[in-house]
Chains A and B, each alone.
Chain A
Amino acid sequence: DTGVSQNPRHKITKRGQNVTFRCDPISEHNRLYWYRQTLGQGPEFLTYFQNEAQLEKSRLLSDRFSAERPKGSFSTLEIQRTEQGDSAMYLCASSLASGLDGYTFGSGTRLTVV
C-alpha cells in the first residue's frame, strides 16, 4: 500500500464550473477525512466518514459542497458552481477506526479558481 492517494494534484477551473476530487485511502482504514487549507493557515476540517457513513460535516461545507464514499473505499469531494474563495488545497486523510495511531494524509489537490 502506497499511502493515501489524491487526484488530481492540481486543478485550475473557471468560476462557476463544477469540480470533483478523488481520494483513495489506505485499504484497511475505515475512517476518511477531508480538510481544506488556505495559504498560511492550518488545515480546516470539512467532513469525515466511517466506512460509507458520513458522520460529521463542518458548517464550512456549504450546499455547494458534497462528499461521498459510496462503498466505504474511495471518496469524492465535489464543489458545484465554484467561486474564487474556493481556491485552496484540499487534503484527504484516513485512519483506523480508533484513529489513535494518527491519520495518514495525502499530498492534497490544489484548486485554483480563475
Chain B
Amino acid sequence: DAKTTQPPSMDCAEGRAANLPCNHSTISGNEYVYWYRQIHSQGPQYIIHGLKNNETNEMASLIITEDRKSSTLILPHATLRDTAVYYCIVRGTTSGTYKYIFGTGTRLKVLA
C-alpha cells in the first residue's frame, strides 16, 4: 500500500501558484519524498525530491514540514500544460525499499 495520501483533485487558475499537499505520517528517517506527474497517455515524469530540507528546481519547489509528516509541491506559475496527475511517493534507500509505491495521486486541472 502507498505510504502517502493526497487529495483526489484540485483546480488552479492559470498563472497562479498551485500548492499540492501530501501526507506521509509514517515516513522513516531514511526515506525520501519524491514527486512525479503524469500527463495523459505518457509515462510519469520526475519533478523533484527531498529528504528533510526544502528543495527548488526549475520546475517546482518542495516544502517538507519539520516533522517530515507532510509536504507540499509548489508550481509557482501554473500553466495549462501543468494539467496532470501528480503523485507523491515515499522511497527508501535500503534493499527492498527502492521501488516506488504509487497511490492514486492528485488530478490537477489548470483553468484558463
Contacts and interface: CB of A to CB of B under 8 A. Distances in A.
A107 B42 contact: yes
A105 B45 CA distance: 7
Interface string A30-48: 0101010000111111001
B21 interface: no
A43 B42 contact: no
Residue of A45, A48, A103, A104 contacting most chain B CB atoms (<10 Å):
A103
B42 A48 contact: no
A41 B100 contact: no
A106 interface: yes
B108 to A, nearest CB: 15
A45 B43 CA distance: 14
B52 to A, nearest CB: 14
Interface of B: 2, 32, 34, 36, 41-46, 49, 85, 87, 91, 93, 95-96, 98-105
